[in-house]
């Protein structure tokens, strides 16, 4: 009794250790992709560039330095006329402080939206890595299952040949079994080719050589993830990065609307200049140098056609973004609905295969082997039982992959990792 408990505990520990190793391995691949994927770097650089625009948007325009000559006679004599002078000056454009603040806020909103865009791409990349990883797992298990089934089928055919030689079977059964064997060998070649393609895609996501090997765990134990639709919808509404990015754009549009309203407030330009004279006054003294100051403002006289239209345009942009957000929310909810249906369907099928179909097919095959040895069933019945179990095992591993691929889709949509029970 004690020995049995020790064995059960040891097996449970080994299964737990294998699961931890599988999750650690997957996380290592995800970390590599997040670090090295070049497409993700594009969004990273874009966000960094957006951040640099914040200070730019709040800065004044560059001042303008100018120089020239005033009242110079046609003979180019600088001493002939008293008002002839060499002039140098500087001008600066100004707006009211509110405009600079609003422009800075717009740039900040753009930066914040770009950060959510980056986060969205990270979740998309994580989903892609996970889905390719689980596809590789199902394909690896399918190849292993097919190879072992081919070996077993060869043994069965050899036994059937021996029995046929003793007059206990028909050649037709053997020929049909050989056809099924050839079909499995054909499927094995296709599976191996498909696996190579998925490995190339997987390595591309990690920015590695396309032919680099990928380590896949021997087993991935199915663990149910608790999925409550209302909770998932709420998580997506609060955390979906693409949705949050659009909401930042809406916030930016609102600030742009406020900035548009300030377009009716005139901007102004100030300048200062210095003029150096070389002419002599009538009393023989040198003419004094001169200083000048100017200020100008633009007059929004055509505000009905220009500024008012700008304000209307900004308001339309707000309505457009609001509609885009609503459309995005509907699309996200639909995608959540589909992913949850897929996950629930696969969960039920996994349970059906684990508890009924595979055990029943295994028992049927074992019974068939005994029956065949006792001449109670023919070879084709045994072959049918064998192929049924083979197909159920292939479907089972694909269901495992499809379930976790659906969970990866839900994680991308909710912007949150969903933990198994």
State the pairing for strand pair 85-94/64-70: antiparallel
Q: Sort 82 into a burial class: Cβ within 10 Å, 0-12 / 13-18 / 19+.
A: middle
Number of Cβ within a 10 Å radius of residue 298 = 11
Mean pLDDT, the chain cut into blocks of 10 residues (421 residues total): 49 45 84 96 96 92 92 87 91 92 95 97 97 97 96 88 77 86 95 95 94 89 90 94 97 95 92 91 87 92 89 96 97 96 96 96 93 83 92 96 97 89 57
pLDDT at position 332, please?
96
Structure token pair of residue 276: 């150096």
Return the percent helix, strand and coil in the chain, to nearest 5: 70, 10, 20
Kindly state the DSSP code that residue 181 receives in the 8-state scheme.
H
Give the DSSP letter of residue 281: P
Domain boundaries, the chain: 33-61+117-265+304-414
Is the Cβ–Cβ distance between 90 and 212 less than 8 Å?
Answer: no
pTM of the model: 0.85
Residue with tokens 């959510």: 116
Q: Looking at residue 2, what is its pLDDT?
A: 53
Q: What is the pLDDT of residue 243?
A: 97
**Residues near 65 by Cβ (< 8 Å), separated by ≥ 6?**
88, 89, 90
| 57, 218, 249, 253, 265 from 260: Cα distances, Å | 15, 62, 16, 10, 10
Backbone phi, psi, residue 290, to 5°: -130, 155
Q: Among candidates 303, 306, 326, 310, which has minimal Cα distance to 246?
A: 326
44-79 burial, b for 16+ CB within 10 Å, e for fewer? eebbeebbebbeebbeeeeeeeeeeeeebeeeeebe
> How far, in Å, are 56, 162, 255, 400 from residue 158 at the CA level?
81, 6, 80, 34
The CATH homologous superfamily to which domain 33-61+117-265+304-414 belongs is Outer membrane efflux proteins (OEP) (1.20.1600.10)
DSSP lists the bridge partners of residue 420 as: 225
């Amino acid at each position: 009794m004690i020995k049995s408990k020790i064995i059960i505990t040891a097996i449970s520990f080994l299964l737990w250790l294998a699961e931890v190793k599988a999750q650690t391995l997957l996380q290592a691949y995800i970390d590599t992709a997040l670090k090295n994927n070049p497409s993700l770097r594009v969004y990273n650089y874009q966000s960094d560039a957006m951040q640099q625009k914040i200070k730019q948007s709040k800065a004044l325009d560059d001042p303008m330095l100018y120089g020239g000559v005033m009242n110079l006679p046609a003979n180019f004599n600088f001493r002939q006329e008293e008002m002839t002078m060499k002039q140098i000056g500087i001008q600066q454009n100004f707006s009211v402080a509110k405009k600079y603040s609003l422009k800075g806020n717009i740039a900040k909103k753009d930066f914040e939206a770009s950060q959510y865009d980056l986060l969205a791409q990270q979740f998309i990349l994580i989903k892609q890595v996970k889905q390719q990883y689980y596809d590789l797992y199902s394909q690896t298990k399918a190849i292993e299952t097919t190879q072992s089934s081919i070996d077993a089928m060869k043994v069965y055919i050899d036994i059937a040949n021996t029995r046929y030689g003793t007059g206990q079977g028909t050649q037709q059964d053997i020929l049909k079994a050989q056809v099924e064997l050839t079909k499995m060998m054909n499927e094995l070649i296709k599976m191996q080719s498909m696996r190579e393609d998925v490995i190339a895609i997987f390595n591309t996501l990690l920015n590695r050589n396309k032919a680099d090997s990928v380590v896949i765990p021997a087993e991935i134990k199915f663990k149910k993830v608790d999925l409550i639709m209302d909770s998932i919808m709420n998580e997506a509404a609060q955390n979906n990065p693409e949705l949050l990015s659009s909401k930042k754009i809406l916030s930016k549009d609102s600030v742009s609307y406020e900035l548009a309203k300030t377009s009716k407030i005139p901007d102004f330009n100030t300048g200062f200049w210095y003029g150096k004279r070389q002419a002599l006054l009538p009393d023989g003294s040198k003419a004094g140098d001169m200083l000048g100051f100017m200020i100008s403002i633009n007059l929004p006289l055509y505000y009905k056609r220009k500024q008012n239209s700008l304000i209307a345009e900004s308001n339309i942009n707000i309505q457009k973004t609001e509609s885009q957000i609503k459309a995005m929310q509907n699309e996200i909810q639909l995608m959540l609905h589909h992913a949850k249906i897929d996950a629930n369907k696969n969960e039920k099928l996994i349970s059906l295969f684990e508890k009924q179909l595979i055990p029943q097919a295994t028992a049927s095959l074992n019974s068939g082997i005994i029956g065949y040895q006792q001449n109670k069933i023919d070879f084709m019945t045994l072959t049918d039982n064998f192929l049924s179990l083979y197909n159920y095992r292939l479907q089972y591993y694909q269901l495992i992959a499809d379930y976790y691929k659906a969970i990866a889709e839900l994680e991308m949509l909710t912007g949150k990792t969903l933990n198994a029970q």
